[in-house]
C-alpha cells in the first residue's frame, strides 16, 4: 500500500483503500488509502511545526535545496516517466514530455531570488520611505488531478516551499505513485521534515483540508464541478484559493492553413494523452471551403494511429484511466450519433483487457449538441463547420469553458482577429497545444478557472506570498 508522508515518517493508515491500476492491462498494481480528518490533521500539524524554522531559513539555502532537487529529478527522469506510463497509461514519449514540463517548474522555482524581491520608494513623504516585503502564508495545500501525476504536483509545491511555506499534498487517488516518488526525492534532496507532507485519499481528505483552520491556501487542478466547489468552500473558510477546472478547446482551421503542418498538430492535440488533457483539442472547426479537405485528412490520419500500451514503441494512443471512464466516453460517442453526428472513425471496437478506446472522429457536430458543449476527456474529436472566422469564434465562445483555443492559418490578420475575439486564456497560432512555459501563468478563463492567480509563472509567487508594507521615518 502507498503510504502517507507525515513529517519524516511514512505511515500506512488503517481503513478503506482503493485499487491503483495499470490501465493498459487492467491489473491492480497497488492500493491507496482513503485518509480522513485524522490523517489530514497529522499532516497539517507536521507542516505547522516545520513552518516555524522553514519560513526563517535563508532564501539562498532554500534555493540551493531546490537546485539539488532539480538534479535528482534529472537523474531519475526515465524512472519517473516509466512510473507515469505504468499507472496513468500515456505513452512513454508523452510521459517524458510531462516530466520535462514538471522539472521546468522546479527550474522556475530556483528563480525565487528575483521573484521574491519587494519594492521600495524613498521620500514618499518628507523623511518617509516605504518598503514592500513578501512573506510566506504558512501551511498550504495542493490537490492535483489524475492526468499529470508528476507535472501537476510540480506546478504546486516547489514554488510554495521555495517561497517559505510548508505543504500538504493530496495526490489523485487514481494516480498517486508519481507524488510518492517526488516526495521521496524531495527528502533525499535534503529538505527538512514536514516541509512537504502527503496525505492520500479522495473527497473526505479534501474536505478535511478545506475545513482545517491552519491551512491558509488551497491550490486545486481538476474537473470543473469540483473546482467550483473547492473555490466556494475554501473561500467560505477564509482561505486563498486557485482552482483550475475543465475545458472544451476549439481548433479553428482556416482555408489558408497549411494542412501538412496543421494535421499532426490537430491529431496530437485531440488524441495525445488519449484525450485526457485539459489542453486537448476537442472540436475542430473548419472554416469555409477547407471542410472536405480537412475531414479527409483527419480521417486518414486518425486511422493510422496505433492504440496500445504506452510502453510499446510506435504506440500513439494509450488506454483511458479506468473502465468507468471508458464507458462514459463511449456514452458520449453514442449520444453524439443519436444527436445527428456521424462517427466517420469509430474507436469503440478496440478490445481490452486494458481500458482502451480507439481514436474517434465525429463529423457534422453542431454547437447545440452535447458533444460540442461538454468536456469528454477521451480520444474523441468533433468536426464542425463555419462559414466565416467570426462564426468559428462564436462557436468557440459559446461553450462555458475558456481554457485554450487555437487557429491554423497563414494570415496574420486572421490570427490577430482570433486572438482578440476568442474568450480563452491560452491561445495557439499554428500549434495544437498552447501550453505556457513555467515562467508564464497557466491562464484558463471562465469556467476553466476559479480564482485570481493562476498556476505557475509570477502569479504563483504572488499566490503563495502575502505582502507587508513598511512605512518608515527615522
Ligand atoms: P477530479 O475533479 O475528479 O479530481 C481532482 C482532485 O479532486 C482529485 O485529487 C480528487 O481526489 C479530488 N476530488 C474529486 N472529487 C471530489 C469531490 N467531490 N470533492 C472534493 N474533492 C474531490 O478531476 P480528475 O478526473 O482527476 O482530472 C480530470 C479533470 O481535470 C478534467 O476535467 C481536466 O480538464 C481537468 N484538468 C484541468 C487542468 C487545468 O489546468 N485547467 C489541468 C489538468 C486537468
Burial class (CB in 10 A: 0-12, 13-18, 19+), 99: buried
| Ligand 1 mean position, distance from CA 175 (Å) | 12
Mean pLDDT of all residues in 135-158? 98
6 has pLDDT over 90: yes
pLDDT for res 373: 97
pLDDT for res 457: 97
d(CA 30, CA 341): 40
| Ligand 1 mean position, distance from CA 417 (Å) | 33
181 has pLDDT over 90: yes
**Is residue 408 in contact with ligand 1, taking CB distance under 6 Å?**
no
261 has pLDDT over 90: yes
* Best of 141, 226, 231 for a ligand 1 pocket test (most atoms within 8 Å of beta carbon): 226
Q: For residue 9, give every residue at least 6 positions away whose Cβ sits within 8 Å of its Cβ, in sequence order, or none.
A: none
Taking Cα atoms as reference points, which of 172, 199, 173, 198 lies closest to residue 183?
A: 198
d(CA 78, CA 87): 15
Burial class (CB in 10 A: 0-12, 13-18, 19+), 467: exposed
Q: Is the pTM of this model over 0.85?
A: yes
**Is residue 226 in contact with ligand 1, taking CB distance under 6 Å?**
yes
Sheet of strand 119-125, all strands in order from the earlier edge strand to the far edge? 119-125, 128-136, 465-473
Ligand 1 atom index nearest CA of 444: 41
52 has pLDDT over 90: yes
352 has pLDDT over 90: no
pLDDT for res 223: 98
Ligand 1 atom index nearest CA of 247: 34
Burial class (CB in 10 A: 0-12, 13-18, 19+), 20: buried
Q: For residue 385, give every residue at least 6 positions away whose Cβ sits within 8 Å of its Cβ, in sequence order, or none.
A: 285, 286, 287, 291, 364
**Is residue 442 in contact with ligand 1, taking CB distance under 6 Å?**
yes
216 has pLDDT over 90: yes
Which residue has its alpha carbon closest to ligand 1 atom 40? 244
Ligand 1 atom index nearest CA of 225: 2
d(CA 436, CA 438): 6
Indicate which residues carry an active-site annotation. 278
Mean pLDDT of all residues in 309-328? 98
Asked if omega into 353 is within 30° of 0 (cis), the reply is yes
**Is residue 147 in contact with ligand 1, taking CB distance under 6 Å?**
yes
d(CA 400, CA 249): 11
* Best of 33, 149, 222, 453 for a ligand 1 pocket test (most atoms within 8 Å of beta carbon): 222
**Is residue 283 in contact with ligand 1, taking CB distance under 6 Å?**
no
- φ, ψ for residue 128, nearest 5 deg: -115, 130
Which residue has its alpha carbon closest to ligand 1 atom 20? 203
Q: Band of the pLDDT at 351, cuts 50, 70, 90?
A: confident
| Ligand 1 mean position, distance from CA 205 (Å) | 14
| 3-state DSSP of the chain | CCCEEECCEEECCCCCEEEEEECCCCEEEEEEECCCHHHHHHHHHHHHHHHHHHCCCCHHHHHHHHHHHHHHHHHCHHHHHHHHHHHHCCCHHHHHHHHHHHHHHHHHHCCHHHHCCCEEEEEEECCEEEEEEEEECCEEEEECCCCCCCHHHHHHHHHHHHCCCEEEECCCCCCCHHHHHHHHHHHHCCCCCCCEEECCCCHHHHHHHHHCCCEEEEEEECCHHHHHHHHHHHHHCCCEEEEECCCCEEEEECCCCCHHHHHHHHHHHHHHHHHCCCCCEEEEEEEHHHHHHHHHHHHHHHHCCCECCCCCCCCCECCCCCHHHHHHHHHHHHHHHHCCCEEEECHHHCCCCCCCCCCEEEECCCCCCHHHHCCCCCCEEEEEEECCHHHHHHHHHHCCEECEEEEECCCHHHHHHHHHHCCCCEEEECCCCCCCCCCCCCCCEECCEEECCCCCCHHHHHHCEEEEEEEEEC
Contact present, 117 and 109 (Cβ < 8 Å) = no
pLDDT for res 363: 98
Domains defined along the chain, listed by start:
4-245+448-473 (3.40.605.10), 249-429 (3.40.309.10)
Q: What is the pLDDT of residues 385-428, one digit of tens each?
A: 999 999 999 999 999 999 999 999 999 999 999 999 999 999 99
**Is residue 146 in contact with ligand 1, taking CB distance under 6 Å?**
yes
447 has pLDDT over 90: yes
To the nearest 10°, report the CA torsion of 103, 184, 454, 373. 90
Mean pLDDT of all residues in 333-347? 98
| Ligand 1 mean position, distance from CA 287 (Å) | 33
**Is residue 451 in contact with ligand 1, taking CB distance under 6 Å?**
no
The angle at the Cα of 415, spanning 412 to 417, to the nearest 5 degrees, equals 110
Q: Band of the pLDDT at 220, cuts 50, 70, 90?
A: very high
Amino acid at each position: 500500500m502507498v503510504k502517507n508522508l507525515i513529517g519524516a515518517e511514512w505511515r500506512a493508515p488503517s481503513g478503506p483503500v482503493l485499487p491503483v491500476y495499470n490501465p493498459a492491462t487492467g491489473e491492480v498494481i497497488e492500493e491507496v488509502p482513503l485518509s480522513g480528518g485524522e490523517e489530514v490533521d497529522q499532516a497539517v500539524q507536521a507542516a505547522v511545526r516545520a513552518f516555524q524554522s522553514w519560513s526563517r531559513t535563508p532564501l539562498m539555502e532554500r534555493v540551493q535545496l531546490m537546485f539539488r532537487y532539480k538534479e535528482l529529478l534529472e537523474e531519475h527522469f526515465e524512472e519517473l516517466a516509466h512510473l507515469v506510463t505504468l499507472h496513468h497509461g500515456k505513452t512513454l514519449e508523452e510521459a517524458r514530455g510531462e516530466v520535462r514540463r514538471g522539472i521546468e517548474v522546479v527550474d522556475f522555482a530556483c528563480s525565487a531570488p528575483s521573484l521574491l524581491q519587494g519594492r521600495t520608494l524613498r521620500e514618499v513623504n518628507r523623511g518617509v520611505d516605504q518598503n514592500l516585503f513578501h512573506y510566506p502564508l504558512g501551511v498550504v495545500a495542493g490537490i492535483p488531478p489524475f492526468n499529470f501525476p508528476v507535472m501537476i504536483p510540480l506546478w504546486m509545491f516547489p514554488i510554495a516551499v521555495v517561497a517559505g511555506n510548508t505543504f500538504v499534498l493530496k495526490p489523485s487517488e487514481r494516480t498517486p505513485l508519481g507524488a510518492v516518488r517526488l516526495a521521496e526525492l524531495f527528502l533525499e534532496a535534503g529538505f527538512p521534515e514536514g516541509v512537504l507532507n502527503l496525505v492520500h485519499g479522495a473527497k473526505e481528505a479534501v474536505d478535511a483540508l478545506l475545513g482545517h483552520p491552519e491551512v491558509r491556501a488551497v491550490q486545486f487542478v481538476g474537473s470543473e464541478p469540483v473546482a467550483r466547489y473547492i473555490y466556494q468552500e475554501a473561500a467560505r473558510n477564509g482561505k486563498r484559493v486557485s482552482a483550475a477546472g475543465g475545458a472544451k478547446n476549439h481548433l479553428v482551421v482556416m482555408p489558408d492553413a497549411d494542412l501538412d503542418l496543421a494535421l499532426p498538430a490537430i491529431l496530437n492535440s485531440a488524441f495525445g494523452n488519449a484525450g485526457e488533457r485539459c489542453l486537448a483539442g476537442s472540436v475542430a472547426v473548419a472554416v469555409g471551403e477547407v471542410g472536405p479537405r480537412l475531414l479527409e485528412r483527419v480521417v486518414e490520419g486518425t486511422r493510422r494511429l496505433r492504440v496500445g500500451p504506452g510502453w510499446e514503441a510506435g504506440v500513439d494512443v494509450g488506454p483511458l484511466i479506468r473502465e468507468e471512464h471508458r464507458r462514459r466516453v463511449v456514452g458520449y460517442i453514442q449520444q453524439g450519433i443519436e444527436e445527428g453526428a456521424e462517427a466517420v472513425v469509430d474507436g469503440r471496437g478496440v478490445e481490452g483487457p486494458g481500458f482502451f478506446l480507439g481514436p474517434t472522429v465525429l463529423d457534422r457536430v453542431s454547437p447545440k449538441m452535447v458533444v460540442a458543449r461538454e468536456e469528454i476527456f477521451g480520444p474523441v474529436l468533433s468536426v464542425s463547420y463555419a462559414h466565416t472566422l467570426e462564426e468559428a469564434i462564436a462557436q468557440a465562445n459559446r461553450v462555458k469553458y475558456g481554457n485554450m483555443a487555437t487557429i491554423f492559418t497563414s494570415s496574420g490578420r486572421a490570427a490577430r482577429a482570433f486572438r482578440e475575439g476568442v474568450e480563452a486564456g491560452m491561445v495557439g497560432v499554428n500549434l495544437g497545444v498552447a501550453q505556457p512555459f513555467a515562467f508564464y501563468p497557466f491562464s484558463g478563463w471562465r469556467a476553466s478557472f476559479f480564482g485570481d492567480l493562476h498556476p505557475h509563472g509570477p502569479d504563483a509567487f504572488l499566490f503563495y506570498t502575502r505582502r507587508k508594507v513598511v512605512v518608515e521615518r527615522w
